[in-house]
Amino acid sequence: SQQGEEDPQALSIQEGENATMNCSYKTSINNLQWYRQNSGRGLVHLILIRSNEREKHSGRLRVTLDTSKKSSSLLITASRAADTASYFCATDARSSNTGKLIFGQGTTLQVKP
C-alpha cells in the first residue's frame, strides 16, 4: 500500500535552478529514504535519514525531515540535465520490523538544458 504523498507530481525547471520535492507520510517511521529512477531503470539510493535526524546533505542534495508534520523534502541545488528522473520517498513504518518500505507516488523532474 502506498502511504506517501509526494508533491509536486511533476516539476520542470531550467538547468542551474534548484528543485524541491516534498513527501508526506501517515504513520510513525524509523527512517525515510529518497531514491532516483531514470526511465526504464532500477532505483538508485540517494539518502537515508533516520527519525532522530532533521537534515542531511550529500553533494548537491539536501534532505530535511519533520516528524511532527510527518513530512520530508528533497532539495537538489544547481540542477543539471542529468538530474532528469523520477524521485521517490520511501518510509520504514515503526510499527513494522519487516524491512518493508512504503513508497510515495513519486515526482517526475525535468531539467531543461
Partner 1 sequence: GAVVSQHPSRVICKSGTSVKIECRSLDFQATTMFWYRQFPKQSLMLMATSNEGSKATYEQGVEKDKFLINHASLTLSTLTVTSAHPEDSSFYICSARALSGHVWDTQYFGPGTRLTVL
Stretch that binds partner 1, among 14-22, 38-46, 52-60, 69-77 (CB under 8 A): 38-46
Residue 110 touches partner 1, criterion: CB under 8 A: no
Residue 81 · residue 12 · CB < 8 Å: no
Residue 41 touches partner 1, criterion: CB under 8 A: yes
Q: Which residues of 62-71 are buried (b: 16+ CB within 10 A; e: fewer)?
A: bbbbeeeebb
Residue 90 touches partner 1, criterion: CB under 8 A: yes
Residue 74 touches partner 1, criterion: CB under 8 A: no
CA atoms 96, 90, 4, 74: torsion sign: positive
- Residue 103's φ and ψ, nearest 5 degrees, are -95, 145
In degrees, rounded to 5, the angle at the alpha carbon of residue 33 between the alpha carbons of residues 29 and 36 is: 150
Residue 94 touches partner 1, criterion: CB under 8 A: no
- The least CB distance from residue 99 to partner 1, in Å, is 5
Residue 107 touches partner 1, criterion: CB under 8 A: no
Tell me which residues touch partner 1 (CB under 8 A): 2, 30-31, 33, 35, 40-45, 48, 88, 90, 92, 97-101, 103-106, 108
